Amino acid sequence: MRYEKADKKVAALLLTAALVVGTTACGTKGQQAEGTDGTTVIKVAYQYGLAYAPLTVMQEQGLIEKNYDGDIKVEWVSLNSGSAINEGMASGDIDVACMGIAPFITGVTAGIPYKMYGTIAAQPNELLTNDSSIKSLKDITEDKKISVVNIGSIQHIFLAMLAKAELGDAHALDNNLVAMSHPDGMTALLSGSVACQLTTAPYIFKAKEQDGIQEAESLDSVWPDGNAFIVGLVADDLYTNQPEVYQAIVDATQEAMDYLNNDQEDAAALLCQKEDVSAETMLDWMQDPGCVYDMKLPGVMDMAEFMAENDFVDKAPESFEAITTESAR
C-alpha cells in the first residue's frame, strides 16, 4: 500500500474540491450572505484544540459583531478536520475558517477560492508513544500504528518532515498512519490501540499526565517553536465583495489575540470551561513556550515548499502574496 492509499485520499479531496469550485463559482454564496431582514450572515468554521483559542474568544465575546458597523449574524460551526473545512469552503457553505497550514496549502493549490488573512497560532506538537522501546522513528516497526488527524493534515506533514530528516523518505511511515480526531487518537493511545499519536495542545498535556505516555520524538529540528500552526482563511467572495465584514474579522481576530496575550488570567478562566480543567491548569498550558498567538508567524511557505518537493501537492504557490490578504503580510 505504502503511499498509494494516502495519495488516493488526498487526490479524492482535490478532485471533489475542484468540481465543487467549478459548479459554485457563480452560485448561491452571495444569496447566503444576507438574511431575509437584511442582516449580514456569515458562517465561521473551527476545530478542536488550544490553537483555536482566538476563535473561542471571538465567539464568546461577540468580537466580530462588535467590530462590524451594522447588523451581522455569525454562525459558528465545529468541524473535525481541515479536509471537512476545505469541502465547506469549496462549496461556499463556509465564509471564514481556521485550520492547519497543510490542508490550506492542499486546498489553495487545488483552486479552492480562499486566502489566508493571517496566522492564528503556533502550538506545541509532539509525537507521543505508549511504547518504551520507541525512542526515535527508527524504532517504529510496520506493526506500530500512528494516529494523526487525517491524511494530509498538518500532523501528517510534521511526521513526514521527521521521516525525511531521519529516514530519508517523507513517506516512510505512511503505511503506519491511522486517521483519528485528536480526542479519539488520545483515547486510542491510552488504550494501546495505537502505539503513537502526533498531536497538539491540550492533548499532549492531557496524555502525558497518564502513566506510560512519553514523547517519542521532538519536532524542534523540523518545526521549531514559533512557527505557524493554524491559519485564518477568508472566502474570496467575502474578501472581494464585503470589505467591511472582512475588516471586522481581521480586527476581531487581533482583538482576541491581544486579550489572550495581555489578559491571560481572564482568558484562562474563559477557556478552561471548554476543556473542563481548572483556570490554573489552563493558564499553565497557555504559558507553554510553544503556545503563541500572532497574525504574522513564519513557516507557511516553508511547509508549502516541503509539500511540493515531496509530492503532497503538485507545486507550491507562486508566492506568499498570491495566497494571502494584506493583513497577513
What CA–CA distance (Å, rounded) separates 221 from 87? 32
The pLDDT tens digits of the residues spanning 131-180 come to 999 999 999 999 999 999 999 999 999 999 999 999 999 999 999 999 99
The answer, yes or no, to whether residue 23 has pLDDT greater than 60, is no
CA geometry: angle 142, 305, 286, nearest 5 deg: 75
What is the rounded average pLDDT for all residues in the chain?
91
* Of 11 and 30, the one with more pLDDT: 11
- Residue 183 predicted with pLDDT over 60: yes
pLDDT recorded at residue 140? 98
Report the candidate in 133, 142, 131, 136 with the shortest Cα–Cα distance to residue 177: 142
Structure-model confidence comparison of residues 35 and 94, the more confident one: 94
pLDDT of residue 37: 75
Provide the pLDDT confidence category of residue 123 given band limits of 50, 70 and 90: very high
Average pLDDT over residues 290-308: 98
pLDDT of residue 26: 38
Strand ranges in 96-202 using DSSP code E only, listed in sequence order: 96-100, 114-121, 125-129, 146-148, 177-179, 196-200
**From-to residues of CATH 3.40.190.10 in the chain:** 2-123+227-328, 125-217
**Beta carbons of 159 and 199 less than 8 angstroms apart:** no
pLDDT of residue 118: 98
For the domain made up of 125-217, give the CATH fold: D-Maltodextrin-Binding Protein; domain 2 (3.40.190)
How many Å apart are CA 39 and CA 70, to the nearest integer?
8
Q: Per-residue pLDDT tens for 246-258?
A: 999 999 999 999 9
List beta partners, residue 121.
Answer: 230
Position 48 scores a pLDDT of: 83
Mean pLDDT for the stretch of residues 56-74: 97
28-51 pLDDT, tens per residue? 443 345 666 789 999 999 998 999
Mind listing the pLDDT tens digit for each residue in 80-89? Answer: 889 999 999 9
**How high is the pLDDT of residue 35?**
66
What's the confidence (pLDDT) of residue 80?
Answer: 85
- Which carries the bigger pLDDT value, residue 73 or residue 4? 73
Please report, for residues 83, 90, 166, 170, 305, the alpha-carbon distance to residue 309 in angstroms, rounded to integers and kept in the order given: 21, 25, 17, 10, 6
pLDDT of residue 226 exceeding 60: yes
CATH of 2-123+227-328, one of 1.10.8.100, 3.40.190.10, 2.60.320.10, 3.40.50.720: 3.40.190.10
